[in-house]
């Protein structure tokens, strides 16, 4: 990773939205010629990172890169965990970095600030006293920073998606294998209390054979995408103008992929994807432009369609349905449906529900008993503390605590680099399918066949679990 490659990777962020947006025809051509070519390429595995236990680290020195709302929240949460030192904080905007440093809640964190330049993170990653880089930047920089950090001897935890191209998905896999450094995807929904419960129920055979699962990210944030600020900062709007597919697949996919043992005895084989036209984004631009001429530049831009529906087939004959919609006015939903030969679970619409066979949904009292009986060890150990620290009801803190506990005890990661790649690659693959009249496209096997023997995620806490929390 050199400065020329970095500038190429980050050009998406710094170019003006209006001039950088491709026409739909150009986007479809890119999807056809580049994505499919990358899918067809063959790769070999140099080392199997699944179930790999890196040497334990008693005190983990962490550097944070990108501390806007999401990143600064992470700084605060991590400061509650014993056995860590927040050593460095980086953001393009100095005020963001300074505010994040002030959110540290405990002592013993000599956080040095890196800011003021688009590539300030390079200097941070070159430090030789950091163990973990925690990435919360715009999407286009997740993979470049993760690759650079691993090449400089650091474990990586990156926000979702871990990469936005098939090529970068392979690059993070190959870099992790070469360096034997973890690349963990920060998919907090895998640590939601009900999602963890359904994972344990699946392990206990409650659902029987899993037949079909559903997941989604349905979250109406359309108007807020039109961020009016410094040039190049409206990166998420840019994503929704350049790309037409499921741009944010991992919230819905991550939990069901773990339940289906994807990459660990099972594999996603291929997908098909369909997208509506845009019924909202252009209307937002027109309405906003009535009050502010700044937004006129977005009228008739090539916005992505509103609702994407992607269907995945596994090698075991199961199906997964994923949806993505951030513009249609409707209640928040991640769907989270687990349908098996014996029972079903469904979280959305709220409240969470379970049913056995054809019977009606079980009463709340019965569900409560199941929750008490089958609550995973992680919830029993840290659940109440997680609710006190917070972060989406506590699931963010459960994710952070588990990450740190695994690194401190030299344990395999719950979500390894193969999960990061295979969950994230749904984005570009869905773009290709949408651009090609919903044709099927194969999902790369980032494990290179090792999925057949890789062991499922260990949720027992039989090892580790000794990391303390400071409230």
Q: Residue 274 and residue 6: Cα distance in Å, rounded?
A: 33
- Whole-number pLDDT of residue 15: 46
The Cα 341–Cα 356 span in angstroms is 9
Helix, coil or strand: residue 351: coil
Closest by CA to 35, choosing from 187, 183, 244, is 244
pLDDT the model gives residue 228: 73
Q: Which two tokens stand for residue 169?
A: 């998905």
Half-sphere exposure of 55 (CA within 13 A, CB side): 4
More confident residue, 333 or 24: 333
- What average pLDDT does the segment 154-160 reach? 98
Exposure string over 188-216, b if 16+ CB within 10 A, otherwise e:
bbbbbbbbbbbbbbbbeebbeebebbbbb
> 136-140, 168-172, 225-229, 374-378: which range is least confident on average?
225-229
Cβ atoms of 103 and 70 within 8 Å: the answer is: no
- Residue 241 CA to residue 218 CA, distance in Å, equals 18
The mean pLDDT of 400-409, rounded to a whole number, is 98
Measured distance CA(87)–CA(130) in Å, rounded: 7
391's tokens: 């972060």
Is the model's pLDDT at 121 over the cut of 70? yes
Q: Give the model's pLDDT for residue 19.
A: 47
Say which residue, 235 or 75, is predicted with more confidence: 75
Q: Are strands 343-346 and 337-340 parallel, antiparallel or unpaired?
A: antiparallel
Is the pLDDT at 388 greater than 90, yes or no? yes
pLDDT in tens, 410-460: 999 999 999 999 999 999 999 999 999 999 999 999 999 999 999 999 999
Q: pLDDT: is 33 or 335 the higher one?
A: 335
Output the DSSP codes for 80-140.
Answer: TBTTEEEEEEEESSHHHHHHHHHT--SS----EEEESSTTHHHHHHT-SS-SEEEE-S-GG
- In terms of average pLDDT, the best of 179-183, 282-286, 287-291 is 179-183
Local confidence band at 14 (pLDDT 50, 70, 90 cut-offs): very low
- Whether the bond into 351 is cis, omega within 30 of 0: yes
Strand partners, 132: 62, 155
Distance, CA of 16 to CA of 309 (rounded, Å): 30
Angstrom CA distances, 422 to 279, 310, 363, 411, 447, stand at 30, 14, 37, 22, 9
By three-state DSSP, how is residue 457 classified? coil
pLDDT at 8: 52
Residue 226 has pLDDT above 80, yes or no: yes
Spatial contact of 342 and 357, defined as CB atoms under 8 Å apart: yes
Band the pLDDT of 224: cuts 50, 70, 90.
confident
pLDDT given for residue 235 in this prediction:
87
Q: What is the mean pLDDT of the segment spanning 336-347?
A: 97
> What global pTM score does this model have?
0.92
Run of H or E including 421: helix 417-424
Rg (CA), the chain: 21
Domains of the chain in sequence order:
190-375+417-452 (3.30.360.10)
pLDDT in tens, 35-91: 999 999 999 999 999 999 999 999 999 999 999 989 999 999 999 999 999 999 999
**How far is residue 15's CA from residue 416's CA, in Å, rounded to a whole number?**
33
**CB atoms near residue 409 (< 10 Å):** 17
pLDDT (0 to 100) of residue 152: 98
Q: H-helix or E-strand containing 321? A: strand 319-325
Q: Is 70 exceeded by the pLDDT of residue 2?
A: no
The angle formed by the CA atoms of residues 436, 439 and 440, to the nearest 5 degrees, is: 135
Which tens digit of pLDDT belongs to each residue from 82-102?
Answer: 999 999 999 999 999 999 999
Q: How do 183-185 and 155-158 pair as beta strands?
A: parallel
């Amino acid at each position: 990773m050199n400065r020329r490659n970095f500038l190429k990777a980050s050009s998406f962020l710094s170019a003006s939205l209006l001039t950088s947006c491709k026409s739909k025809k150009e986007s479809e051509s890119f999807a056809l010629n580049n994505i499919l070519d990358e899918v067809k390429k063959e790769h070999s595995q140099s080392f199997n990172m699944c179930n790999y236990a890196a040497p334990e680290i008693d005190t983990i020195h962490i550097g944070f890169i990108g501390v806007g709302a999401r990143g600064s929240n992470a700084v605060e949460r991590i400061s509650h965990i014993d056995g860590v030192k927040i050593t460095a904080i980086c953001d393009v905007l100095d005020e963001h970095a300074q505010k994040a440093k002030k959110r540290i809640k405990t002592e013993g964190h000599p956080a040095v600030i890196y800011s003021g330049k688009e590539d300030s993170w390079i200097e941070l990653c070159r430090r030789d006293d950091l163990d973990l880089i925690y990435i919360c930047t715009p999407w286009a920089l997740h993979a470049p920073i993760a690759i650079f950090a691993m090449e400089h001897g650091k474990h990586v935890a990156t926000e979702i998606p871990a990469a936005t191209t098939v090529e970068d998905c392979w690059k993070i896999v190959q870099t992790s294998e070469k360096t034997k450094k973890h690349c963990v995807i920060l998919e907090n929904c895998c640590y939601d209390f009900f999602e963890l419960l359904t994972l344990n129920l699946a392990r206990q055979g409650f659902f029987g054979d899993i037949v079909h699962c559903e997941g989604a990210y349905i979250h109406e944030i359309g108007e807020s995408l039109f961020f009016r600020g410094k040039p190049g900062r409206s990166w998420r709007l840019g994503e929704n103008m350049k790309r037409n597919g499921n741009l944010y697949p991992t919230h819905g996919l991550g939990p069901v992929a773990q339940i289906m043992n994807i990459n660990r005895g099972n594999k996603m084989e291929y997908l098909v994807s369909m997208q509506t036209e845009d019924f909202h984004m252009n209307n937002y631009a027109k309405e906003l432009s009535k009050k502010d001429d700044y937004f006129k530049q977005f009228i008739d831009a090539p916005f992505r369609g509103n609702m994407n529906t992607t269907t995945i087939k596994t090698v075991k004959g199961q199906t997964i349905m994923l949806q993505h919609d951030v513009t249609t006015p409707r209640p928040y939903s991640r769907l989270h449906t687990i349908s098996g030969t014996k029972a079903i679970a469904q979280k959305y619409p709220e409240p969470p529900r379970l049913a056995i066979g054809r019977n009606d949904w079980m009463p709340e009292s019965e569900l409560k008993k199941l929750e008490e009986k089958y609550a995973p060890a992680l919830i029993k150990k840290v659940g109440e503390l997680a609710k006190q620290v917070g972060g989406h009801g506590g699931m963010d803190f459960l994710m952070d605590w588990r990450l740190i506990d695994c690194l401190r005890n030299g344990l395999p990661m719950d979500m390894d680099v193969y999960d990061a790649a295979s969950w994230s690659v749904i984005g570009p693959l869905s773009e290709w399918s949408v651009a090609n009249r919903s044709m099927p496209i194969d999902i790369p096997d980032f494990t290179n066949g090792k999925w057949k023997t890789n062991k499922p995620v260990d949720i027992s806490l039989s090892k580790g679990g000794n990391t303390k929390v400071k409230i």
